[in-house]
Structure 1
Amino acid sequence: MLTYPDLDPVAIQLGPFAVRWYALAYISGLLAGWWLLVKMLQQKSLWARPPFSSTSPATADDIGDLFVWTTLGVVVGGRLGYDLFYGIFYCGFWPDGRDCHGLPWAYVTNPLNLIAHWTPGGLHLFGFQIPIYIPQLLGMSFHGGLAGVVAAIVWFCKKRGLNMFSVGDAIASVAPIGLFTGRLANFINGELWGKETDSPIGMVFCNDTIRATYGRCLAGMNPRYPSQLIEAATEGVLLFLLLQLAIRKFRLHERPGMICGLFFLGYGLARAFSEFFRDSESMIYGWFSMGMLLSLPMWAAAAFFIWVAYKQPAWAKKQRSTP
């Protein structure tokens, strides 16, 4: 059995405000993806052949501006996606779910729960204790964040006159970096743990920090799969390597939309696979979970993008000239 390390989910504590590793994971994933994508756009050999003909699908300045909007799409879409997919849809049909806690009715009694989960706290200032409520973005949906990113790409490309399928391919090729850092943050938080197992890779998701925070070990004292690390390996490392291989070895980005299709296909497969190890907080029936259900539209989107890539309509060859 492996040992779960005693990691504090809070990276920096500033009075009542805490900077969590989860937030830093989002930031580091976005910055690393931004850096790598700019490097890829500057690599002339990737864009030498048609339909690009030595013109990359976007400039470094375009990507810098786009990442501002994709960051907003991740945060807003991730939170609202959780509200819709889990808080309203899942908890509406299965209100006894492990993480429902009164949802979706809690949205009616306190609509601010749609924005964040609010926890009571206090601010000590000039000898006075000021009661405040601290927002925590607990409950983020990858599928909602993905929808937010897609909306941001479509809007931005239309505004700038960019080929949204080629730009989407470029974004998709680095997206697994954020998935990797996010799953590592889940591991640090001791959340989204796996099913109980007697496997040598099992671990007890409990340490002194968890006991001090919650007063008990939420996952119990039986060994469980480290499903967060399984997802980091499949959704993050493996998917990233496959997409980079598709671009650099097989040059599939020369069919705009193909990399997006492979990303949707690969993520759907990786998520469905990992759900067999994950002790899902949103089980629907037997082994079938909400995560598996949401993989179905991912595969439908994959089929659409791959169809677009192979169809190669006229717009696929129209590229904006780099200024």
Structure 2
Amino acid sequence: MLTYPDIDPVIFEIGPLAVRWYGLMYLLGFACAYFLILHLSRRRGLSLSKDGVSDLLFYCVVGVILGGRLGYVLFYNLAFYLEHPLEIFSVWEGGMSFHGGLLGVVVAALFFIRRRDLPFLLTADILVTSAAPGLGFGRMGNFINAELWGRVTDVPWGMVFPGAGALPRHPSQLYEAILEGAVLFAILYGLHRKKVSAGLPLFAFLMLYGGFRFLVEFFREPDMHLGFLWGGATMGQLLSVPMMLVGLGGILWLLQQQRKM
């Protein structure tokens, strides 16, 4: 069993202002996204200036924060937030839904793409690739916050998390950080290096993220207030299935289009 590195979630405080690791992880993710969007736009021939990249990132930041928070409220804990509506704004305490954030980014990006008359598939390819490091940072933030821990286990790397009882658990946040962050980014960036058809990184992202999330959910403790749902699946698994199907369907569609050429 490994010892959980009990890290103070607050890095430092200046009067009433507290700088938290969770927020810093988001800032690192957005910073990486900016430079990756700029780099990949030049590499793939997407017409975006530095100001255009900043504008696109701003739209996506708003989309991911609003969508991620509202997704968590709606999908994971609606009853609680109906009773405590002001808690919806306490994003520094955690509680963001990836699937809600994804929907928020889709809406924001579609609005930006239409305004700038950009190619949808290529822009989406660049966005999802640039988002992958941020997904990994976000899971590191979950780990530091000692939240979203895994199920009880006897593996040698199990950890006893504060507030999770005396039994060791899977550090499932780290599993997700590796798969949804590092591995996913490496695959998507590799596709860009090969200059694959527009749309393939996007659909690969949907299929792979959905698959990775579905897999890790077997090691992650379900939300206490939700537990196991239909067929013994978790909410994360149920929300990931449509992603996998859309991703697979999109890849098959691209292959069909290539055969017609």
Same fold (TM over 0.5): yes
Structure 2, unmatched stretches of 5+, are none
Find the partner of 2:70 among 58, 66, 80. Answer: 80
Shift of 1:312: 4.8
Letter in 2 for 1:291: G
1:186-228 Cα deviation digits (max 9, x unpaired): 111111111111111111113xxxxxxxxxxx11121111101
CA distance in 1, matches of 2:217, 2:35: 31
Equivalences for residues 33-44 of structure 1 within 5 A: 33-43=33-43
- Could you tell me how far 1:56 is from its partner in structure 2? 2.6
Larger Rg: 1
- Match of 2:206? 264
For residue 63 of structure 2, give the secondary structure of its aligned residue in structure 1: helix
Deviation at 1:80, TM superposition (A): 0.7
Give the distance between the partners of 2:216 and 2:165, measured in 1 at CA: 21
**1:119-176 deviation per Cα after TM superposition (whole angstroms, max 9, x unaligned):** xxxxxxxxxxxxxxxx745311111111111111100000011012110001111211
RMSD, aligned α-carbons:
2.0
> Which stretch shows the higher mean deviation, 267-276 or 30-39?
30-39
Letter in 1 for 2:18: A
Alignment of 1:159-238 (within 5 A): 159-206=115-162, 218-238=163-183
CA contact (8 A) 1:58 1:167 kept: no
Tell me the amino acid that sits aligned with residue 198 of structure 2.
Answer: P
Secondary structure (helix, strand or coil) at the match of 2:96 reads coil
Q: Partner of 2:164: helix, strand, or coil?
A: coil
Instruction: Name structure 1 gaps, 5 residues minimum.
Output: 48-54, 89-102, 118-134, 207-217, 314-323
Matches for 1:7-156 after TM superposition, within 5 Å: 7-43=7-43, 47=44, 55-88=45-78, 103-104=79-80, 106-107=81-82, 109-113=83-87, 115-117=88-90, 136=92, 138-156=94-112
Identity of aligned residues (%): 43
2:121 partner SS: helix
TM-score by length of 2: 0.90
Structure with a larger share of its residues in helix: 2
Distance 2:9 2:141 in 1: 8
Q: What SS does the corresponding residue of 1:18 show, helix, strand or coil?
A: strand
Alpha-carbon distance in 2 for matches of 1:222, 1:111: 34
2:247 corresponds to: 302
Deviates more, 1:13-22 or 1:233-242: 13-22
